[in-house]
Structure 1
Amino acid sequence: MSAGPTGPDESAALHGVEAVVLVGGLGTRLRPLTLSAPKPMLPTAGVPFLTHLLSRIRAAGITHVVLGTSYRSEVFAEHFGDGSALGLELEYVVEQEPLDTAGAIRNVAGRLREQDIVVCNGDILSGVDLPGLVRTHRDHSADATLHLVKVDDPRRFGCVPTDSDGRVTAFLEKTDDPPVDQINAGCYVFRRPVIEAIPADRPVSVERETFPGLLDSGARLQGHVDAAYWLDLGTPAAFVRGSADLVRGVVPSEALPAGGSEALVLDGAHVAQGAAVTAGSTVGPGCAVEQGAEVTGSVLFAHAHVEAGAVVERSVIGAGARVGAGAVVRGGVIGDGAVVGGGCELLDGARVWPGVELPAGGVRFSHDC
């Protein structure tokens, strides 16, 4: 479901706000997909994932965005240019050495103009109400405001307790007995002087150094807690789930038509009669899905080929890759140009690296190939 255009109150709330999007990570947990493109540029529901985030930022009324880049930095500028196609003014700052989250934020400080800065991690799929986040920040005259989400199992994350007024009281590392179920969701609003006070030219952790230091100094850190959709796309399983949720309309994106659908079949793709493409799957341009094949909750990059009777479930099939007749891929990642021979079975967690050809004949794989 699309968030829709902003109303008058939202536009007023976002006057004097700009955004920073951090897209410098290596995406190692998503390899081999990220060998050919940075994680935020992977095709997600038909477009690079970053397009969904930038479109939501623009829909919220923010027009100036600075991208903090590092790995394959040139790819972002080549695709998005000056941002005008999205109604944005985009600037790029390249991180020469890893600076961690706060260090990367400090690295773009010279391009900032406004007093309130929305900062987003470029690998988080979220339905957060950005105007609402900014209003929380301003209503409490906060130095920094954190989007916090409630999760079923906070033990896997650091948790962030708040008092009755929503003020952050601590940052707690992973624990078997977390006192609250709310965690840092990777989206913030900073006053610009707070960013400028972060040490420059060295790695700085926002959770281990910046936020605890602000608390110790008596600064106001505010929590904005909601039940919005939230997903870290850092693993293949999360990536395919996020793409499917975008296609089905579970999470809003201004880059897609409202309402959602069972499948997104892009221009130049061919799905044969008798093939089934369901559960939010994306079939990229130039792809072919042959008769009797089943593609469920999966992503097929450009020119991938799924042969007759093959089953692809919760998986990513890389550009130009081929899944042979009768093969089964469940929870797998097939790298660009790889071939899964007919009759093979790849189970959850299996990854086939680019260009590798697995022989036909019913071989079962459950590891990297």
Structure 2
Amino acid sequence: MSDNLAANTDAVILVGGKGTRLRPLTNTIPKPMLPTAGYPFLRHLLARIKAAGMNHVVLGTSFRAEVFEEYFGDGSDFGLEIEYVVENEPLGTGGGIRNVLSRLRYDRAMIFNGDVLGGTDLNAVLDSHVKRKADVTLHLLRVADPRAFGCVPTDDDGRVSAFLEKTEDPPTDQINAGTYVFNRDIIEAIPQGRVISVEREVFPELLERNLRVFGHVDQAYWRDMGTPDDFVRGSSDLVRGIAPSPLLEGHTGEAFVDDSAVVGGGALLLGGTVVGRGAEIGAGARLDTSVIFDGVQIEAGATVERCVVGAGARIGARAVLTDCIIGEGAVIGARCELRHGARVWPGVQIPDGGLRFSSDV
């Protein structure tokens, strides 16, 4: 049943956000296009969509919309049919879903947040939607501490009973994981051309109208890639095979190094580190749980932990970087020490020994 179901379901991916929490990486690159485990992040999601049997994809874009179309084109290189709808003004999650209506082909659409890294079984979500004759199905996730999220309690049949904002005393450990199945007529009923939140307006109204809103609950891998910490961990989890991606099957391990990169003798690459095209890693350098973009130079003896280093940046010999974001083309001089969420903007140059945190300088 699933294959046919998936083939007759549109996949809609909302990729309009600006990714402000990941600046300066997102100054020029939309967040879903950031290199993640060797590919633009969105390719991992598209590979999961294709593996599930969906063929028609609509991207709802806004910020730097042209970047998506330049890379993916009509989708034929990826075995998909991809179309684009641009939001000229941000419309919120509900408005963004309504905005793609004219491109939908089927009676059902599966809607994805373009910055969530997930491992849920998409066919199982579709199956439960159809079997329950649902109008809308939400992928719900069980988490250890639901206080930071909106909670979604369900009854014994899996039917959603409420949508609750973040609260100190949540009545359930089920949270909205940001993947939905909508019947087409529900999308048609969303008002057009204004900002609408699916969580605050659309879903509560569906419950008021007593429509069939169900939750598909699991504990699959899930991570919102919006912060530097989550971005680094998500990339690392893909490389190590903790987060699933059809693109990496059979290629998981401690590091993912592009064939064109050069790694010097005695360099250590650990924790799901990614090294991009043409990068050069000096002898004795130590890279742990980090994402190194294309063309980066890391000189001998440098230590880079839980960092993202933008394309073409240079890290000097024996520099120590922990929990940092280094912008494109920046230069961190030898023996510098950057820690705790430091962000260096593109093209900035810090001289040798120019910045330290230690008290033993």
TM-score scaled by structure 2? 0.97
Is this contact kept in 2: 1:21–1:122, CA < 8 A?
Answer: yes
1:180 aligned onto 2:140: no
Pick from 207, 216, 220: which aligns with 1:228? 220
1:306-332 Cα deviation digits (max 9, x unpaired): 111110011100000111111111111
1:207 aligned onto 2:199: yes
Instruction: State the shift of 1:153 in Å.
Output: 1.4
Query: Using the alignment, how far apart are the partners of 1:361 and 1:261 within structure 2?
Result: 34
Which SS does the other structure have where 1:193 is aligned?
A: helix
Query: Using the alignment, how far apart are the partners of 1:121 and 1:258 within structure 2?
Result: 27
1:21 aligned onto 2:19: no
Aligned to 1:5: none
Aligned to 1:306: 298
Q: 1:168 to 1:346 in 2, by over 3 A?
A: same
* AA matched with 1:136: S
Aligned to 1:363: 355
1:316 aligned onto 2:325: no
Query: Using the alignment, how far apart are the partners of 1:83 and 1:64 within structure 2?
Result: 9
Query: Using the alignment, how far apart are the partners of 1:156 and 1:16 within structure 2?
Result: 35
1:267 aligned onto 2:271: no
Aligned to 2:283: 291
> Which segment is superposed worse, 94-103 or 151-160?
151-160
Aligned to 1:190: 182
1:341 aligned onto 2:356: no
Pick from 109, 113, 116: which aligns with 2:108? 116
Q: Structure 2, unaligned stretches of length 5 or more?
A: none
* AA matched with 2:212: R
Aligned to 1:94: 86
Aligned to 1:70: 62
Query: Using the alignment, how far apart are the partners of 2:213 and 2:52 within structure 1?
Result: 23
1:55 aligned onto 2:39: no
Pick from 106, 120, 135: which aligns with 1:128? 120
Pick from 40, 43, 46: which aligns with 2:38? 46
Instruction: State the shift of 1:359 in Å.
Output: 2.0
1:5-50 Cα deviation digits (max 9, x unpaired): xxxx431342421110000000000000001200000000011000
Aligned to 1:81: 73
Which SS does the other structure have where 2:239 is aligned?
A: helix
Query: Using the alignment, how far apart are the partners of 1:240 and 1:209 within structure 2?
Result: 33
Aligned to 1:6: none
Which SS does the other structure have where 1:292 is aligned?
A: coil
1:150-197 Cα deviation digits (max 9, x unpaired): 112111111111111111111111111111111100100000000011
Q: 1:222 to 1:174 in 2, by over 3 A?
A: same
1:34 aligned onto 2:26: yes
Aligned to 2:239: 247
Which SS does the other structure have where 1:53 is aligned?
A: helix
The list of structure 1 runs, each at least 4 consecutive aligned residues, that deviate by more than 3 angstroms after superposition, is: none
1:33-86 Cα deviation digits (max 9, x unpaired): 001200000000011000000010000000000000000000001000110111
Is this contact kept in 2: 1:150–1:182, CA < 8 A?
Answer: yes
Aligned to 2:152: 160
User: What is the root-mean-square deviation in Å for CA atoms of aligned residues?
Assistant: 1.2
Instruction: State the shift of 1:267 in Å.
Output: 2.5
Q: 1:222 to 1:76 in 2, by over 3 A?
A: same
Aligned to 2:209: 217
* AA matched with 1:342: A
Pick from 123, 136, 139: which aligns with 1:147? 139
Is this contact kept in 2: 1:249–1:258, CA < 8 A?
Answer: no
Query: Using the alignment, how far apart are the partners of 1:10 and 1:107 within structure 2?
Result: 27
Instruction: State the shift of 1:199 in Å.
Output: 0.6
* AA matched with 2:29: A
Instruction: State the shift of 1:256 in Å.
Output: 1.6
Which SS does the other structure have where 1:255 is aligned?
A: helix
Query: Using the alignment, how far apart are the partners of 2:180 and 2:250 within structure 1?
Result: 27
Is this contact kept in 2: 1:286–1:304, CA < 8 A?
Answer: yes
> Which segment is superposed worse, 126-135 or 258-267?
258-267
Pick from 308, 317, 322: which aligns with 1:325? 317
> Which segment is superposed worse, 259-268 or 337-346?
259-268
Query: Using the alignment, how far apart are the partners of 1:72 and 1:364 within structure 2?
Result: 36
TM-score scaled by structure 1? 0.95
